[in-house]
Amino acid sequence: MTEPQLSADRLFGSNLVAMVAPMNSDGSLSESGMDGLVDHLVATGCDGLVVNGTTGESSTLTEAESAQLVGAVAARSTGRAKVIAGIGTYDTKATISRARDAEEAGADALLMVCPYYSRPTQAGVIAHCLAVADATALPVMLYDVPARTGMEIAASTLIELAAHPRIVAVKDAKGDLFEAQSVMDRTGLAYYCGIDQLNLPYLAVGATGLLSVVGNVAADRNAEMIAAVRRGDLDTARSIQRSLIPLTSAMMLGAGGAITAKAALTQLGVIPNATVRMPLLDLTPSELRLLADALTGVAAIVG
């Protein structure tokens, strides 16, 4: 294993899950639901808990709710997994505030999305990321997801940002495998695959680990795939990836991960209900049946 992998494992883990935000039927946050989810994820082999990300419906959370969730996950995980807090917004001042709140609440690291909607220049992206990285003592994982932000973090920008001592990883949801290899070759940035459909290809070209939505219900399978790739057993890794195709299709190619992950966790009895905040909507009966069929045969440990 390379030194960047070892370092990133210590800071973030390798088998990360983009957690949902369990809610009560009225849309308020469910602390008991979050406790049960943390226990479930740790039991199924997750060593990195990403809270307040896209799958956690971060865009609908207030600053107080975001800090509350980070504190709840940190308190429940009690060192069993790293806690990575999503703090990115399109406003640098607000992002810095959320970063400091997350640090105070007990986060181990930060996940910072490229500023969205405002579409800054790459120089603006660099200035934003450096300002946030300078605001706390926590390691930072950049989140490159142009399908949601409207713009990418250019390879040259990633290379420049890698010079900052606390910007040490990338959640790559861009899907450009050649660019990812090129950046890894020129920097010490640890890459985490942020597209469940491409988990194995990213691991095969040198990604440190996964930041998975499907991991909400199949973290054990992801852990096995990471281990298989690291020991050079690609046959086993391919078999695991193939076994997850129906579930990945049902969760990632339809309504969206925040909705489908909650529905799947509810069907498994991990969280009490699948409530999401508008503008997200619950799955239709036909979508629920498709998801239930995909869950059949997935060996997830439910605590």
Q: 171 catalytic, yes or no?
A: yes
d(CA 15, CA 68): 24
Q: One of 82, 143, 192, 262 is an active-site residue; which one?
A: 143
Q: 192 catalytic, yes or no?
A: no
Q: One of 171, 174, 192, 202 is an active-site residue; which one?
A: 171
The DSSP 8-state label assigned to residue 23 in this structure reads B
DSSP of the chain? --HHHHHHHHHT-SEEEE----B-TTS-B-HHHHHHHHHHHHHTT--EEEESSTTTTGGG--HHHHHHHHHHHHHHHTTSSEEEEE---S-HHHHHHHHHHHHHHT-SEEEEEPP-SS---HHHHHHHHHHHHTTSSS-EEEEE-HHHHSS---HHHHHHHTTSTTEEEEEE-S--HHHHHHHHHHS-PEEEE--GGGHHHHHHTT--EEEESTHHHHHHHHHHHHHHHHTT-HHHHHHHHHHTHHHHHHHHSSS-HHHHHHHHHHHTTSSS-----TTS-PPPHHHHHHHHHHHTT------
Residues with catalytic function: 143, 171
